[in-house]
Amino acid sequence: MAEQISDYQALSPLYTTEQLQSKVKELGEAISRDYAGEELLLVSILKGSFIFMADLCRAIHGVKVAIDFMAVSSYGDKTQTSGVVRIVKDLSSTVKERHVLIIEDILDSGVTLRYLLKYIGARGPLSLDVCTLLRKKDRQLAKIEARYVGFDCPDQFIVGYGLDYAEQYRNLPYIGILGK
């Protein structure tokens, strides 16, 4: 029997609004130090990272920041990746000879991110790094070294702060574990 969205609910917070704000500030300070005086293109991987990137770009100081967006799909309405990456929206900006920082909501299997690193890397950026709010170390099928990591999180399906299940729960101001 197929599971319905109504069969799930977001449980108590895994990371509170206050913890998220503190971590975003900490990441913004590190990025500000590392890219001081440089121009940096932040690339948000839609839809999950849009809230994180909005908060993060406001926490970066002393860096000329530009933003762009990519939309990719590998989950659909499932709780596990299909392993097939499909680009739904490509970049509008050029990355050639620019510092590029991919902003991800969660580094899970790493399959999507590995594909994106190769795809964007082939376009000739000066540097290409990853900032992920969440990382599931035990789930990685593809070895990805993220330069900036907010939290190492448990191997649970989580929602909120931009993360979804079948387009639901993105608007939660905290991150919670999705459960029945």
Catalytic positions, written as ranges: 108
Burial 125-147 (b: 16+ CB within 10 A, else e): beebbbbbbbbbeeebeeebebe
Which amino acid does the sequence have at 44? S
Q: How far apart are the first and last CA of the chain?
A: 15
- On whether the CB atoms of residues 107 and 140 are closer than 8 A, the answer is yes
Question: Distance between CA 175 and CA 180 in Å, rounded?
Answer: 16
